[in-house]
Amino acid sequence: MKILVQKFGGTSVENAEKMRRAAKRAIEAAKKGFGVVIVASARGQQTDVLVADAYELNPNPPKREMDQLLSTGEIQSVSLLAMALDSMGYKAISFTGAQIRMLTDSVHTKARIKSIDAERIHKQLNEGKIVVVAGFQGIDENENITTLGRGGSDTTAVALAAALGAKECEIYTDVDGVYTSDPRIFKKAVKLDQISYDEMLEMASLGAGVMHPRAVEFGKKYDVTIHVRSSSEQVDGTLIIHEVPQMEGLLVSGATIQKDLAKIGLLGIENVPGNAAKVFAHLAKHKVVVNDIIQTEVNPDKANLSFMINVSDLESAKQAIEEIKNEVNFENIFIREDIAEVSVVGVGMRTHYGVAEKMFGALADAKVNIDSITTSEIRISCAVDKDQAEKALEAVCMAFELDRPAKLRNKNS
């Protein structure tokens, strides 16, 4: 039996009407002969509501309890969807992450999937049922409920597709595909027909919230085509695949903005072997994900070390640094939360020059000051003041003509 995994995000299951629409999509696929597995997110803003409930009672909620609480949002969705399917005359069964042994590590609130027991799902599919699985949640080896990080239902879906041997995973959402930039912020963004896993992974990691980065990693690793599409309109969306034929001379495929960042700087840190290793080992011990590390030598004895983290990790990072401060001997620490990052992404950068110049020029023309710059083979990121970030994104998008379909752009855009 050919298997299709269909994932419905929060807005796509937010009320009874949308649930019925999602159920109809699954039935259409079942009628075509697919074994259908639905993965659902919590309804509407339910996860945000639960987070707010937690913080009302405790400013520092234990992460295990947070996961236990947040997992309930998805469980509501899947049982309701199974009821909707039943009312439409289709046999369906819903499962929590634990029930299909979605085994993860024990890093609460950002766990990583280790294995999935596909047997229970196969058995139900073979009995002719549509299987509805709760996204975003798993279970660790001690039976504690874990969650995969905000937006993690995408990862449940693609990981399930891989485990079940499905060739494609459909991601139904409130946009009709992946755009050159977030269409809610850059209104003139255009939809991409296709994007490579590498570019999508980079964009997702840099703030394109339309896909969870780990989902793209799974897709690439296990060869699952990801189809991002609209849950309300019957139109083709964007395919995330291995190789997209490159338009000659096209440098940049998309631009992103990340606002939930904080920057930490350790000034005048002792310039001796092992200090950076100590700082980052300690941050890792506290499960803090670090990006954009910059170290510069001030004089032979002192260096400045700065890095970016997600603002949700700020408390853990502060604690890690407090514990290590007497060992690494820095003179001053600064923490900025008023910072954002604007990035451009494109595999074309591997072989072409001029991207940096164009990006910095666009920001200069828009009178946006660049705080720091980081690059990889296929991206350039500039940290800017948060209140200038949207203006910066717009300027960069216009400079690279991300308001126009690729074939209409000037060469070297």
Interface residues toward ligand ASP, by CB under 6 A: 9-10, 41-42, 47, 73, 135-136, 150-153
* Selected binder of ligand ADP within 209, 265, 268, 361 (CB under 6 A): 209
Q: Which stretch binds ligand ADP (CB under 6 A): 10-18, 74-82, 137-145, 240-248?
A: 10-18
Closest Cα partner for 263 from 394, 140, 381, 371?
371
Min dist. Cβ of residue 119 to ligand ADP (A): 28
The torsion angles phi and psi of 298, rounded to 5 degrees, stand at: -90, -45
For residue 25, give both structure tokens: 């999509």
174 contributes a contact to ligand ADP by CB under 6 A: yes
217 to 256: interface string for ligand ADP, x by CB under 6 A = -------------------------------------x--
Min dist. Cβ of residue 336 to ligand ADP (A): 23
The torsion angles phi and psi of 251, rounded to 5 degrees, stand at: -95, -40
Min dist. Cβ of residue 218 to Mg ion (A): 15
Q: What share of the chain is helix, strand, coil (3-state, %, to 5)?
A: 40, 25, 35
* Selected binder of ligand ADP within 9, 35, 73, 213 (CB under 6 A): 9
Min dist. Cβ of residue 393 to ligand ADP (A): 10
* Beta-bridge mates of residue 36: 4
| The entry of Mg ion, ligand ASP, ligand ADP, none that residue 97 binds, CB within 5 to 8 Å by partner kind | none
Q: Which stretch binds ligand ADP (CB under 6 A): 25-33, 173-181, 348-356, 370-378?
A: 173-181
Q: Which residue is nearest to ligand ADP (CB)?
A: 9
Spatial contact of 320 and 288, defined as CB atoms under 8 Å apart = yes
182 contributes a contact to ligand ADP by CB under 6 A: yes
Residue 346: Cβ within 10 Å count:
22
How many H-runs (helices) and E-runs (strands) does the chain carry? 11, 20
Min dist. Cβ of residue 360 to ligand ADP (A): 22
Euclidean distance between CA atoms 330 and 303, whole angstroms: 9
Euclidean distance between CA atoms 383 and 258, whole angstroms: 9
Task: Name which of 254 and 348 has its Cβ closer to ligand ADP.
Answer: 254
Closest Cα partner for 290 from 269, 321, 268?
321
* Positions in the binding site for Mg ion (CB under 5 A): 9, 151
Closest Cα partner for 192 from 152, 250, 136?
250
| The entry of ligand ASP, Mg ion, ligand ADP, none that residue 150 binds, CB within 5 to 8 Å by partner kind | ligand ASP
Task: Name which of 11 and 310 has its Cβ closer to ligand ADP.
Answer: 11
Task: Name which of 7 and 220 has its Cβ closer to ligand ASP.
Answer: 7
Task: Name which of 50 and 190 has its Cβ closer to ligand ASP.
Answer: 50
Min dist. Cβ of residue 151 to Mg ion (A): 4
| The entry of ligand ASP, ligand ADP, Mg ion, none that residue 182 binds, CB within 5 to 8 Å by partner kind | ligand ADP
Q: Which residues contact 139 (CB under 8 A, 6 or more apart)?
A: 97, 98, 101, 102, 103, 104, 145, 146
Euclidean distance between CA atoms 314 and 316, whole angstroms: 5
Specify burial of residue 338 (Cβ count, 10 A radius: 0-12, 13-18, 19+): exposed
Min dist. Cβ of residue 49 to Mg ion (A): 16
